[in-house]
Every structure is written in C-alpha cells, then in structure tokens.
Amino acid sequence: MIDIKFLRENPDAVKENIKKKFQDEKLPMVDEVIALDAEARKTQQEADDLRSRRNKISKEIGKLMGQGKKEEAEALKAEVAAGAKRLAELEAKETELQEKVTKIMMVIPNIIDPSVPIGKDDSENVEVTKYGEPVVPDFEIPYHTEIMERFNGIDLDSAGKVAGNGFYYLMGDIARLHSAVIAYARDFMINRGFTYCIPPFMIRSNVVTGVMSFAEMDAMMYKIEGEDLYLIGTSEHSMIGKFIDTIIPEDQLPKTLTSYSPCFRKEKGAHGIEERGVYRIHQFEKQEMIVVCKPEDSAMWFDKLWQNTVDLFRSMDIPVRTLECCSGDLADLKVKSYDVEAWSPRQKKYFEVGSCSNLGDAQARRLKIRISGEKGKYFAHTLNNTVVAPPRMLIAFLENNLQADGSVRIPEVLRPYMGGQEFLK
C-alpha cells in the first residue's frame, strides 16, 4: 500500500505506474480515492473544530457556574449538546470515508522500482545471469515420479485416497533426502548469520491482508472454518507478521530470520503434464528467509537474498539462473522481484524453484512496522526469499544427479545429512 500523501501529491505518477502494470481498469481509482480523501479530511477538520469549540465552552461553563450565572451556563450546555449530535454524525462519516479510502488504497499497486522491465506477463521476464553449465546427459531422464518410484520413494495413489489430488507420501531414502535438504538449508542460512525460527502455521486475517493482496489471498489461502485463522501459504506471511504494530530501534536492524514451515496452497486451475507429481501441490515444506531493514538498505539486502539461493543450489551442483520479473508479473505489493530457476535436463529448460521479493514499505505500512531513529519514526522495508522448497528442488536434484545406471549421486554437502551415503541405489 502506497502512502496516501504520495498519491495525493503525485496522482500522475501513480497512474503511470498502474499503466506499467497493465491494470488500466484501476486508473479511475486514483481520482476516486483523492476525492474521498479530500472529503474525509474536510469532515475531520469540521469534527476537530467542534471538539475544540466543545472544550472551550466546557471551560466557560465552569467559570459561569462558579460565578452563579446558571442561566448562561445552561445555554452553553445546550450548545454543547447540539454540537455533540453533529460530532457523532461527523465521526461516523469520517470512519466510513476512511474505510473506503483504505479499501481502494489496498488495491492500487505499489510503485515499482525504475529498473523493473516493462512487460505484460511472465513470458516477458528477463534473464539476468546463469550459474553453472546446463548438461543434458546421453541417457534418458525419466519423469521425476518415475525416478522416485524406482526407490519406492513416493506413493501418490494412497495419498489420493487419503487427501485427494495434490498430495503425496514420500518414503524411505527419498523422504530422508527431502529432510536432508531442509536441514542443510537451515544450517546454510544460520551460517550466513540468519536467526533460525519456527513460526505459527496459522495466521489471522489482519496479518493475511497485511502481507498480500486480496487477489493473492483468494487464489492461495485456506480458511479455517468458523475461526479468524488461515493456513499459511508460506512462512514469510507469519514471519513478517511477527513484527506487526511494533517500533524497532534503528540500532536493532536489520532483522534477518530464516524459517521452516509446512505451506498450504489452493493452487487453482489446471496444470500441464510437467506440473504433475510433486511440482504443483497443496501441501509442501519450505525454508524461507526474511529481512526487515531501513529503506536505504533494502536494495543491498535484495541482492544478498537471491544470491543466497543461487549459492545453495550451486553447492549441490545444480545449474541455475536468475530471472527478473517484469512489471506485469509483479504482485501488487512488490517493488522488485527475481525468480531463481533450476535446470531441468529432462525438459531441457529452466523452471522456477524460488522467488526473491523487495516489498518496500508496503507490508510495513499495512502492518504498522515502524523504525525509531534520530529523524523520528518511519516505516521499515521488508524482503523475503525462498531458501529452498524441497518438492520442486527434489525434481532438479534427481534430474541433475541421476547416473546412467539409475543411481543418484549425493553431493558432498548433503552426505552428513544422509548418513554418509554417496549414492542412492
């Protein structure tokens, strides 16, 4: 959510930003919110004047009563009573107008960084850098579930009977590999100075609307029936929510946290054949990282965050690339975003395994996460990035480490987490 003062003073810039995101249907909202804001401020001013008048009259009534001028005091009391009725009307109107302003402001997209490429959708995202040499072996790479089945490592049929499509049982060495990746990612981030955290896996609606847009919420979140609770779609939501309505001293920044959690997502819509198995699912586990920092430091932290994911994947010998999301592919709260994509020897192309986002002060403004410093109080900047989400990571891992004899090589960094195994056979 952008600053209403900025919108008020720069309506053309806000409209231009909406155009860059190809959301022209939202253009009338700018003028609408300006009109509502002006009416709200006018209403507030009249209410403030009445309050000031009431306070002044109250003092005069006290003086008159002390002087025995009861009739004059009663006349002023009648004026206060009449003012009270009008004040109640104004306060109700002010609340209504502010709610309308906030509702619209929650839909107007955040101002994107000037460096973001302009494009309509993810087909116009821009490759930044490749890391590692993509290899296509001279033997056939089976579909990832077929590789897992060779190790008796996955049971989709039983999961379908128990929970429906979009779920799985991981078994044996494949399940152990999944846990090994999570444990390695945890230690990797701790060694880079991040504080490890296991957050709540459910959050209240005010946190949900504080960290994401309404469109994202509808597409992703599972609501707990009869309670003001949602299952998290990613631990970033819970982790940023940790700082709701707080004032953080400058000398305590940055806050750098890495978190483990299960994640729950609706994943609406039909998907292609390569998105079966464990690619697009309703439940998975993930290691995440978030940063709360001063505004002037957020660009630096953005580069550090996506580099962490690149370094993690490269340490497991998986080729990756970074892709900058174009304007039309950015969620409304995001200022700038990179996807990290891993190489798929089977598909002979890269696919997304993580996403790094700088949200500026949008989440902080919604959740009232402020910083206290020499210049007073101001809103923090928040960032998040996927360390690793093993279901998709397992696809990249198995495809890139599959050997001609059907075994799977375990990279050296994972061997301590796999009981010293060098290969799955």
DSSP for 363-409, please give it.
HHHHHTEEEEETTEEEE-EEEEEEEE-HHHHHHHHHHHHB-TTS-EE
Q: What is the pLDDT of residue 272?
A: 45
The answer for residues whose C-beta is within 8 angstroms of residue 100's C-beta and 6 or more apart is 36
Contacts of 157 (CB under 8 A, 6+ apart): none
Number of domains in the chain: 2
Burial of 407 (0-12, 13-18, 19+ CB in 10 A): middle
Distance between CA atoms of residues 196 and 80, nearest Å: 58
Residue 396 lies in a domain: yes
Per-position DSSP letters for 220-269, written without gaps between them: HPEEPTTSS-EE-SSHHHHHHHTTTTEEEEGGG--EEEEEEEEEE----S
Whether residue 161 sits in one domain with residue 92: no
Q: Residue 72 belongs to a domain with what CATH number? A: 1.10.287.40
Report yes or no: 201 and 238 within 8 Å, Cβ to Cβ.
yes
In whole angstroms, how far apart are CA 269 and each of 12, 245, 274? 36, 36, 15
240 shares its domain with 376? yes
- Say which amino acid occupies 131: Y
Q: Where are the beta strands (DSSP E) in 31-159?
A: 126-131, 154-155
**Same domain, yes or no, for 319 and 387?**
yes
Question: Is residue 116 one of the residues assigned to a domain?
Answer: no
Q: If the chain, 425 residues long, is cut into consecutive pieces of 10 residues, what is the mean pLDDT of each piece?
A: 92 97 96 95 88 75 70 70 78 91 93 97 96 94 94 93 91 96 97 97 94 79 93 94 97 97 76 56 92 97 97 96 97 96 96 96 96 94 95 92 96 97 95
Domain containing 415: what range?
A: 122-424
- Where a domain ends, among 63, 79, 105? 105
Q: Would you state the pLDDT for residue 165?
A: 86
Place of tokens 């720069």: 10
Token reading at 152: 């008796």
Q: Kindly list the distances between the CA atom of residue 4 and the CA atoms of 7, 50, 111, 244, in Å, as whole numbers in the listed order.
A: 5, 25, 12, 20
d(CA 1, CA 10): 15
Residue type for position 63:
K
Whether 117 is in a domain gets the answer no
Do 409 and 295 sit in the same domain of this protein?
yes
Torsional class of 193: left (φ above 0), alpha (ψ -120 to 50), beta (otherwise): left
- The last residue of one of the domains, among 61, 78, 105, is 105
Q: Give the DSSP H or E segment for 87.
A: helix 70-105
Which residue matches tokens 């609307």? 209
Long-range contacts of 87-93 (CB under 8 A, 24+ apart): 87/47, 87/50, 87/51, 87/54, 90/43, 90/46, 90/47, 90/50, 91/47, 93/43
Would you state the pLDDT for residue 269? 47
Verify that 45 and 137 share a domain, yes or no: no
Burial of 348 (C-beta count, 10 Å sphere; 0-12/13-18/19+) = exposed
CA dist., res. 108 & res. 15, Å (int)? 9
